Structure 1
Amino acid sequence: MSAAPPRVLTVAGSDSGGGAGIQADLKTMLALGVHGMSVLTAVTAQNSVGVQGAWPLPVEAVRAQYRSVVDDIGVQAVKTGMLASAELVRTVADLLAGTGAPVVVDPVGVSKHGDALLAESALDSLRTRLLPVATVATPNLDEVAQLTGLRVESEEQLRPAAEAVLEFGPRWVLIKGGHLAGDAVDLLTDGTEEHWLRAPRHDNRHTHGTGCTLASALAARLALGDAVPEAARAAKTYVTGAIEAGFPLGAGIGPVDHAWRLRNATD
């Protein structure tokens, strides 16, 4: 009998196409050697071309799932994704505040295809309730604009964007600059330290699930004992490989390959 691996909980929505959301989170956690667990916040009808529908779960169902897992099994890290409504954001923030594990907040606002995944009314709760309990927040540039009103169009603008997000209270922020031209560059900072994470940009349009994957990899590495900068670098390496190996699926944007290391090892 083996000892239990570190346990990581994802609190997020379901992607029926399997490329993002809960499905991507659990695949990432398995690939990185931790035990993934889930609290489902919403069900989406989703595929490679977009989101055809989304249905948030009742607050009572989300709270019951969370307590069921945390009270019995325990967690070494938590990752949040799609929370859909202000009521769910507030509920999850309250649950996280009493858990005592590192929290990675992926402030999911829109899907890869531009479909809204967070109600406009929930933005204030995200700023004032969820971000203050985050160990690391991982917004992309669209989410930075939603949260702060700042439009980032160059690498030089990543620093003021990070400063603006830090004002909401997360200990660290990782601004994902993947939408900028040139190399894929992200900025990790706590307001004192800065870590610039760079990777070559791969010519591959199949990038569905990158944000979920990066945040889950970061949470997995925190559960394994990494400090935040080391966890972020390891997560960046993992998601870069997954993007390079992304594959076509359906008629639109295919997913990143969460099993790329396994496939490379068996080639």
Structure 2
Amino acid sequence: MGCHLNSYIPKVLSIAGSDSSGGAGIQADLKTITSLGCYGMTVITAVTAQNTLGVDQIEQLSENLVSSQFRAIENDFRIDALKIGMIGNTHTVQLLSQLLGPLRQNIVLDPVMVASSGAILGEGNIQDAIANLLFPISRLITPNLIEAKAFLNVSDIQASEMIDAAHALLKLGAKAVLLKGGHLSNDLLKDVLVEKIGQQTVVTEFHHPRISTKNTHGTGCTLSSAIACGLALKMPLQDAVAQGVEYTQRAIIAASRVAKQELGTGHGSLWHAFKQYPID
């Protein structure tokens, strides 16, 4: 997991919102990126006042400031991979499609619309803009079941329906889909990766036991950033996803060993530095 550094350090850009509690958003992304041996950079789309109990306030940044942040990075750094998290509104979606369209490689899209606490993080019709403008330029999209239902306009997705749902998301323009099953009630959870390779569609399932813990704040951000690191390290997509799933699971397990409420009294944060600073 991660890399043995040589003369080149892979650069990963996070385009997402800021979480004042440090558990999700760009803060979780930077912790993940550093832990996996890459160099993290950010374009902040929104500033939130939140903690593990909920989101109190969201302030969207202007399109001009979002664009200026991206141009500043683009003019100085090579971008080996990037992840997109919370966007917030359709205007920023349109802007990102214009800024990122020429890259068309190693973009991991985590279509964040609902926080772990249940707070809505995007305006009502944002899913249509995301599907139309960002799905086609992304290497991978990583929706959870709640987000997938919004994109597909369906009321429910069972575990047995996840592969069909992922195929339906491909038809909306995605090149590859990692449909996350963390919201299922099963003791054994699964994530489904469906990828277009030439004229074929390849399906890979990742199974892992449910971890009995409240420390799940920022899991989606962590996973998508870890996958982006794998792509920056030139891993095949399936290997990058496997790394992301393993890293996220280990960060959850490590957090579950921390003293009760140490990382928040609600849906607590993960412990991203489990490799550097193990918790017994």
What band does the TM-score fall into relative to the shorter chain?
over 0.9
Pick the aligned partner of 1:68 from 72, 76, 101.
72
What letter matches 1:64 in structure 2?
S
Alignment of 1:13-32 (within 5 A): 13-32=17-36
Over the aligned positions, Cα root-mean-square deviation in angstroms equals 1.6
**Counterparts of 2:94 and 2:176 in 1: how far apart (Å)?**
20
Aligned partners of 1:24 and 1:209 also within 8 Å: yes
1:139 and 1:176 in contact (8 A); partners too:
yes
Matched residues, percent identical?
39
Partner of 2:203: 194
Aligned to 2:141: 137
Code of the residue aligned with 1:38 in structure 2: it is T
CA contact (8 A) 1:152 1:158 kept: no
Mapped to 2, the partners of 1:28 and 1:250 lie a distance apart of 19
- Residue 98 (structure 2) aligns with: 94
Give TM-score scaled by structure 2 length: 0.91
* 1:66-215 matched pairs, under 5 angstroms: 66-180=70-184, 181-191=186-196, 192-215=201-224
Shift in Å, 1:250: 3.1
Q: What's the TM-score, normalizing by structure 1? A: 0.96
Residue in structure 2 matched with residue 254 of structure 1 by the alignment: 268
The amino acid across from 1:258 in the alignment is H
Structure 2 SS opposite 1:107? coil
Give the aligned residue type for 2:189.
A
Which letter does structure 2 place at the counterpart of 1:244? I
Cα separation, 2, equivalents of 1:263 and 1:204: 20
TM-superposed CA distance for 1:154, in Å, is 2.6
> Of 210, 213, 219, which residue of structure 1 is paired with 2:228?
219
Q: Is this contact kept in 1: 2:175–2:195, CA < 8 A? A: yes
Q: Which runs of 5+ in 2 are unaligned?
A: 1-5
Question: Higher helix share goes to which structure?
Answer: 1
Whichever residue aligns with residue 12 of structure 1, its letter is A
Q: Distance in 1 between matches of 2:72 and 2:241?
A: 29
1:9/1:78 contact within 8 Å kept? yes
